[in-house]
Amino acid sequence: MSPSTDTGNDRFENLRQELRRGSLPLAVLAALRTEHYGYTLRKTLADHGMAIDEGTLYPLLRRLETQGLLVSQWREEDKRNKRFYRLSPDGKLILKQLLVEWKSIRASLEDIF
């Protein structure tokens, strides 16, 4: 592969990641309308085409919890302690607002395209 193609791929990959990074909090909040622990949440997101590595997901979950959008609870399941996350009442409200915003962005982009 030529260096210019490599640079082109790198540029695309950087922009793609930037684009996806921006939509990750929305995807996580939406997925946590149902309670999940980290690993199953990752699998759920991956099944819907939003694969996210653990190094990104867990810090994001902590940030959202600190902002009061999520609540978590350590519970035993299958003889192992797991931390379960779900949306807080504030999180539900914010998710609604973000979904409206998302639809508006999508409509605007489609209009531009």
By CB under 8 A, tell whether 45 contacts another protein.
Answer: no
x/- mask, another protein, residues 8-37, rule CB under 8 A, reads -----------------------------x
Binding-site member from 39, 75, 93, 104 for another protein (CB under 8 A): 39
Q: Of 1-9, 14-22, 50-58, 102-110, which part binds another protein (CB under 8 A)? A: 50-58
Structure letter (DSSP) for residue 35: -
State in angstroms the smallest separation of the CB of 113 from another protein: 31
State in angstroms the smallest separation of the CB of 38 from another protein: 5
Backbone dihedral angles phi then psi of residue 78, each to the nearest 5 degrees: 50, 40
Instruction: Kindly write down the DSSP assignment for every residue of 61-92, as one continuous string.
Output: HHHHHHTTSEEEEEEEETTEEEEEEEE-HHHH
Binding-site member from 2, 19, 49, 80 for another protein (CB under 8 A): 80
By CB under 8 A, tell whether 81 contacts another protein.
Answer: yes
CB 58 within 8 Å of CB 38: yes
Where does the chain show beta strands of DSSP type E? 36-37, 70-77, 80-87
